[in-house]
Structure 1
Amino acid sequence: MTVQKQIKEYITAQPEPKRSEMQELHGMILALMPDCKLWFLDGKDEKGKIVSNPNIGYGSQTSEYANGKTREFYQIGVSANTTGISVYIMGVEDKKYLAQTFGRDLGKASVTGYCIKFKTLANIKVDVLKAAIQYGIGQTNIPH
């Protein structure tokens, strides 16, 4: 199954209104990163055990670990969770930056070092979320 088909099935499987909101976010991120690499992680480890919520990834960056090893991973991620939607902005060095810069203006959302979590798009200012995503894209300095 193609990544695009996995993404479509994942979004379609969500109950409304989450389905429509995931579709809206998917379109918004693709508009920001039209030629990006798409990812779909089913949330299972190599043994098939569920370790996280499934998530959609956009773009590509190389993460370097303390031991010198590197791994390719997405720049922006979106995942449905039990209470709403999470948007992951990877590659941000300063773990306080998202909360300090976008948290106050975002609306009713929880902002951590790389994750913006909200119940529904109606609770947040989508233009502020879009600005946070654009910031994250710029941090990884990889063409998309």
Structure 2
Amino acid sequence: MNIRQQIENYIIAQPEPKRNDMQGLHERILQILPSCKLWFLDGKNEQGKLVSNSNIGYGSYLIKYADGTTKEFYRIGISANTTGISVYIMGISDKNYLPQTYGKRIGKATVTGYCIKFKALKEINIEILEDAIQYGIQPGF
């Protein structure tokens, strides 16, 4: 099964109304990043044990570890969680940027150094979320 099929199956498997929100968010991100690399992580480690929620990823960047090694990873990610949806903006060095810039303006969401978590799209300002995603895809932030 290819990545697009895995993403489609993951979204379809979500209960409503989360399914509709995930599909809408996926489509919006693809509008922002039309030719980006797509990722699907099933949340399992090398031994097949479930260690995290599944994630859909968009774009890519190199994670640089302290020992000098690197790993390619997605830049923007979305994931269904028990209470709603998480949007991940990876690679931001200033962990105060997202909460300070978007936290008070986005609506009913929890904003951390790299994650914006909300129950439903109708509870947030989608334009502010799109601004955060646009910020997250800029190289060298």
Q: TM-score, normalised by structure 1?
A: 0.96
* Structure 2 counterpart of 1:15: 15
Report 1:45-124 matches (<5 A): 45-124=45-124
Report 1:10-49 matches (<5 A): 10-49=10-49
Q: 1:44–1:52: 8 Å Cα contact kept in structure 2?
A: yes
Name the SS for the 1:104 alignment partner. coil
Q: Distance in 2 between matches of 1:140 and 1:27?
A: 25
Report 1:122-137 matches (<5 A): 122-137=122-137
Matched letter for residue 102 of structure 2:
F
Once the two structures are TM-superposed, the CA of residue 139 in structure 1 deviates from its matched residue by: 4.0
Q: 1:75–1:140: 8 Å Cα contact kept in structure 2?
A: no
Indicate the structure with greater helix content: 1
Count of residue correspondences: 141
Name the SS for the 1:62 alignment partner. strand
Please report the RMSD computed on the Cα atoms of aligned residues, expressed in angstroms. Answer: 0.9
Name the SS for the 2:103 alignment partner. helix
- 1:56-99 Cα distance to aligned partner (Å, 9 max, x none): 00001001000100000000000000000000000111000000
Q: Distance in 1 between matches of 2:24 and 2:72?
A: 26
Q: 1:106–1:124: 8 Å Cα contact kept in structure 2?
A: yes
Q: Distance in 2 between matches of 1:140 and 1:62?
A: 11
Q: 1:61–1:140: 8 Å Cα contact kept in structure 2?
A: no
Q: Which stretches in structure 2 are left out of the alignment for 5+ residues?
A: none
Q: TM-score, normalised by structure 2?
A: 0.98
